[in-house]
Chain A
């Protein structure tokens, strides 16, 4: 316990020092101090989470801790798990940021970036430790605002300000929903502890309303469709290490909040709660990956994949809640565990991929995949790390993405245990959608890796690309290692996740009984898988095959020649397959969704139409769903705002009149109220 308090103090102190250092120190020293204190703080969070989860501690800090009244912290299993997620990604990101932000020196405000990075890391951990609504909401707002400031770092680039506006608008709409939800849960008293909320007796209607508000509020932060529109705008324009933190951790706070409220504070609910989460997750997963496929901006592509993976997490959690409402506790726990497992996995591989994309951006100065290529030879380490991330996110065994998707599949396969066939039939549909999602994700990452890193450079910038500096490599390497470790050790991770759910009312942790052997056996559906043996087998085979070839006396000569080109000599990058071309078959298959517009104009030679002088082809995809949902309300809002602006006449007399009227109205209201 003493160790836990020590780590907590260290964590808070380190980030406080980080903020101060960022504001005071300049240059490499400043960056070093920011990165160092951020790293210490993140590692302290990681240690704190591990200590609490490992020893089953529940440290509590009450209002006396800080002079701010109503400030309360408490760490239970769920908080500890999320502290680990924050610490893992936070540590990698701060180290990476040291090298990455060097390029900002003298161009953008490093003070603001460094300070806000530490504020963000601190607010994330305070949020998962919060034990009352006030603490939670304050930390939530600090998180949103610090992220907003960092999204605006490269403020002079086109699109940045607009993206930041979208982000802050949707995140505040979500915040409003959250405030309303907490007011509902705590009967108007925001300093009520979470413990009191758990035992509060609410009417079913109020509970349903609180759930829907929570889903909207936390869904907006998590980027669940259709509230995801800000995500592919804001994540790409932020500095890459901040993007990694946003996609890896910040959006996971939506997952944390939803779990905290639904399975802890509201202690589970009717089947339609889980069904709604499951449906939202399925739609997000599919929409996310489909839009990612059409994206050729490397960071936007990754951002859309965040929508997809949040969807997968929601599928696991939603299925878990559904099972819970039918009293199938083993499956319910399994569902939530699979969601949490995917949460930490996604934090690692998406963090890694964003850092990799950042290195590419750092080296080439562009995010457009069509201008890249051949980077595997120019930045071999970044390429290797990105490849590990790409394999993990495509759910290829034996990496971590596979382990958690396997668990989500097993959860859904247990759907046959639901007594009502008309409800149970949801599960196979979710299975099919999840399988389609993971297949499309694999296609998308063949495109992302293949077009970016393989073949011939498509531009001069790509040709002159250089490997990332050491600190950035360390950041990527640590997350790549985490991806491998989390993939190889599901038999360690899953029981730990089971422990993190201990004490939450909505799921029964006693039902978790996984064999501690190397292989992971799922109770109920009884599928079985052993990641380490699988990895060992694959490695052995890959080692044995060349040996066997050598023994069998296969020819070992190797000649380097030109790529075959039907007889033409010399190959230029213009002959390569492009990202657009790669995605074309799928664009045609899903044309109904994309509704692409095509514009083809050909200039013929005036003498003969067999001689083409120039061809111009333009094709765009319209996210019609988003327009349908946002355009009209936004238009209405704009009109209302224009109308309201008339009130602002500019005359002091008018304002005095308003003041008087408002004062009188309030007095009357107060009197009437009494």
Chain B
């Protein structure tokens, strides 16, 4: 009973931690990028100020928009928060492990994308439509890679349950260096860039409407709605980073619930996030945005990586 209660407390703590750290992660990438580009850059906590500013601003809604436009930010935000209860951020196994597996996580995120795209179309602005169309294209083309990466992970763990995947990799450390695992990591990394709207697929810093994807879609949003959407986007980045960090390199994730292991878990999570943020910052400094119609090529690279990951696990059994 007590263990269960601790589990639920941990779930809540995990979600709170994700909500708290997510904007900071975005700030960290921006700051690192600025440093790499010889700029001073805004402080890491700048996104927090932006969110609190947006929450205090008035909302302007287009006269063409319907209730869906006003409901969408809540759907997007809630689905992202729901996912933070399902993914192993600090500890395994958690009580909600049976509520949703990796497939549920992927489709919950798709739920958010679906409603955000609809909201992009709702005000009737051509930019919103453009963003929605591109966002759905990228999301659809990334889907097979995600599924295959899940397949590769599930193959070695014998389950799609996130807790079991983490536990399995922890017990057999050699598995995380197997070719299947490494290839799947590569595939999922590219998908992370696509799903979270980073370079070279989308430029989060752009303000030229014709090249935007995510930003074009949410162009009509303002005030608290925009804040929710920005926060959800940061959460999505946080979720993908912690999936990359904890599914493939699970060390540090607490398997026995003691204060010491939890402290290690928090520390290792911060290290993993910082390293991934660093990698993304370097990448975004080094490469330019791809033309929209070259994006499928990049995604097919990730698809092939994932396919090789699965077939290699089949052949190396």
Bound: A261/B133 CA distance, A: 43
Bound: A434/B103 CA distance, A: 13
Q: Check A549 for interface membership: any CB of B closer than 8 A.
A: yes
Closest to B293 in A: A588
Q: Check A216 for interface membership: any CB of B closer than 8 A.
A: no
Q: Check B179 for interface membership: any CB of A closer than 8 A.
A: no
Q: Check A109 for interface membership: any CB of B closer than 8 A.
A: no
Q: Are B151 and A431 in contact (CB under 8 A)?
A: yes
Pair count A-B, CB < 8 A = 270
- CB interface residues, A 595-640, toward B, < 8 Å: none
A534 with B128: in contact, given A396-B110, A450-B121 (CB under 8 Å)?
A: no
A528 with B98: in contact, given A431-B148, A559-B60, A577-B129 (CB under 8 Å)?
A: yes
Bound: A521/B160 CA distance, A: 11
Q: Check B5 for interface membership: any CB of A closer than 8 A.
A: no
B142 to chain A, nearest CB (A): 7
Contact of A542 among B78, B114, B223, B292 (CB under 8 A): B78
Q: Check A202 for interface membership: any CB of B closer than 8 A.
A: no
Q: Are A397 and B107 in contact (CB under 8 A)?
A: yes
A548 to chain B, nearest CB (A): 10
Contacts of A582 in B (CB 8 A): 121, 129, 132-133
A514 to chain B, nearest CB (A): 13
Contacts of B228 in A (CB 8 A): 545
Contact of A406 among B104, B132, B306 (CB under 8 A): B104
- CB interface residues, B 100-140, toward A, < 8 Å: 100-101, 103-104, 107-108, 110-111, 113-114, 117-118, 120-126, 128-130, 132-134, 136-137, 139-140
Q: Check A20 for interface membership: any CB of B closer than 8 A.
A: no
Contacts of B224 in A (CB 8 A): 549, 554-555
Contacts of B56 in A (CB 8 A): 554-555
Bound: A594/B97 CA distance, A: 43
Chain B window 219-230, contacts with chain A (Cβ cutoff 8 Å), 1 for yes, 0 for no? 110011001100
Query: Which of A79-87, A420-428, A475-483 lies at the interface with chain B?
Result: A420-428
Contact of A577 among B128, B140, B159 (CB under 8 A): B128
Query: Which of A191-199, A322-330, A563-571 lies at the interface with chain B?
Result: A563-571
Query: Which of A6-14, A123-131, A437-445, A496-504 lies at the interface with chain B?
Result: A437-445
Q: Check A581 for interface membership: any CB of B closer than 8 A.
A: yes
- CB interface residues, B 159-173, toward A, < 8 Å: 159-161, 164
Bound: A565/B63 CA distance, A: 13
Q: Check B45 for interface membership: any CB of A closer than 8 A.
A: no
Contacts of B17 in A (CB 8 A): none
A527 with B161: in contact, given A534-B82, A555-B223, A589-B296 (CB under 8 Å)?
A: yes
A436 with B144: in contact, given A450-B117, A530-B99, A534-B99 (CB under 8 Å)?
A: yes
Closest to B316 in A: A421
- CB interface residues, A 437-491, toward B, < 8 Å: 438-440, 442-443, 445-447, 449-451, 454-456
Closest to B70 in A: A558
A600 to chain B, nearest CB (A): 18
Contacts of A402 in B (CB 8 A): 107
Closest to B58 in A: A557
Q: Check A546 for interface membership: any CB of B closer than 8 A.
A: yes
A380 to chain B, nearest CB (A): 8
A320 to chain B, nearest CB (A): 18
Q: Are A534 and B141 in contact (CB under 8 A)?
A: no
Contacts of A396 in B (CB 8 A): 107, 110-111, 114
B317 to chain A, nearest CB (A): 7
Contact of B78 among A406, A538, A566, A577 (CB under 8 A): A538
Bound: A545/B73 CA distance, A: 10
Q: Are B310 and A428 in contact (CB under 8 A)?
A: yes
Contact of B66 among A377, A395, A409, A442 (CB under 8 A): A377
Q: Are B111 and A455 in contact (CB under 8 A)?
A: no
Q: Are B110 and A442 in contact (CB under 8 A)?
A: yes
Chain A window 248-269, contacts with chain B (Cβ cutoff 8 Å), 1 for yes, 0 for no? 0000000000000000000000
Closest to A521 in B: B98
Bound: A406/B104 CA distance, A: 8
Contacts of B118 in A (CB 8 A): 446, 449-450, 454
Q: Are B121 and A577 in contact (CB under 8 A)?
A: yes
Contacts of B223 in A (CB 8 A): 555, 557-558
Contact of A560 among B61, B125, B310 (CB under 8 A): B61
Contacts of B227 in A (CB 8 A): 554
A173 to chain B, nearest CB (A): 34
Q: Are B129 and A528 in contact (CB under 8 A)?
A: no
Contacts of B204 in A (CB 8 A): none
- CB interface residues, B 52-77, toward A, < 8 Å: 55-64, 66-68, 74-75, 77
Bound: A558/B224 CA distance, A: 10
Q: Check A340 for interface membership: any CB of B closer than 8 A.
A: no
Contacts of B140 in A (CB 8 A): 436, 439-440, 442-443, 586
Bound: A583/B155 CA distance, A: 35
Q: Are A564 and B125 in contact (CB under 8 A)?
A: yes
Q: Check B81 for interface membership: any CB of A closer than 8 A.
A: yes
Q: Are A528 and B161 in contact (CB under 8 A)?
A: yes
Closest to B104 in A: A529
- CB interface residues, A 382-434, toward B, < 8 Å: 387, 391, 394-397, 402, 406, 409-410, 413, 416, 421, 424-425, 428-429, 431-434
Q: Check A42 for interface membership: any CB of B closer than 8 A.
A: no
Q: Are A561 and B296 in contact (CB under 8 A)?
A: no
A521 to chain B, nearest CB (A): 7
Q: Check B143 for interface membership: any CB of A closer than 8 A.
A: yes
Closest to B161 in A: A528
A564 with B101: in contact, given A542-B78, A571-B124 (CB under 8 Å)?
A: no
Bound: A455/B64 CA distance, A: 6
Q: Check A189 for interface membership: any CB of B closer than 8 A.
A: no
Contact of B143 among A424, A438, A552 (CB under 8 A): A438
Q: Are A577 and B130 in contact (CB under 8 A)?
A: yes
Q: Are A529 and B136 in contact (CB under 8 A)?
A: no
Q: Are B117 and A446 in contact (CB under 8 A)?
A: yes
Q: Are A433 and B68 in contact (CB under 8 A)?
A: no
Q: Are B143 and A439 in contact (CB under 8 A)?
A: yes
Q: Check A584 for interface membership: any CB of B closer than 8 A.
A: yes
Bound: A518/B55 CA distance, A: 38
Contact of A421 among B209, B307, B315 (CB under 8 A): B315
Contacts of B314 in A (CB 8 A): 416, 421, 424-425, 428
Q: Are B114 and A446 in contact (CB under 8 A)?
A: yes
Q: Check A77 for interface membership: any CB of B closer than 8 A.
A: no
Q: Are A559 and B58 in contact (CB under 8 A)?
A: yes
Q: Check B158 for interface membership: any CB of A closer than 8 A.
A: yes
Q: Are B114 and A442 in contact (CB under 8 A)?
A: yes
Q: Known pairs A440-B140, A577-B133. 10 more at Cβ < 8 A?
A: A397-B100, A425-B314, A439-B144, A446-B121, A525-B159, A533-B99, A549-B224, A561-B63, A577-B126, A577-B128
8 nearest A-B pairs in the assembled complex, by CB-CB distance: A577-B129, A439-B143, A435-B147, A439-B140, A455-B124, A450-B121, A443-B136, A541-B78
Q: List 24 A-B contacts (CB under 8 A).
A: A391-B114, A396-B114, A431-B144, A431-B151, A433-B144, A439-B143, A442-B114, A445-B114, A450-B132, A454-B68, A528-B98, A537-B85, A542-B74, A545-B74, A546-B74, A555-B224, A560-B63, A563-B63, A575-B126, A577-B133, A582-B129, A583-B133, A585-B292, A588-B293
**Which chain A residues have a beta carbon within 8 Å of chain B's beta carbons?**
373-374, 376-377, 387, 391, 394-397, 402, 406, 409-410, 413, 416, 421, 424-425, 428-429, 431-436, 438-440, 442-443, 445-447, 449-451, 454-456, 519, 521, 525-530, 533-534, 537-538, 541-542, 545-546, 549, 552, 554-555, 557-566, 571, 573, 575-577, 581-586, 588-589
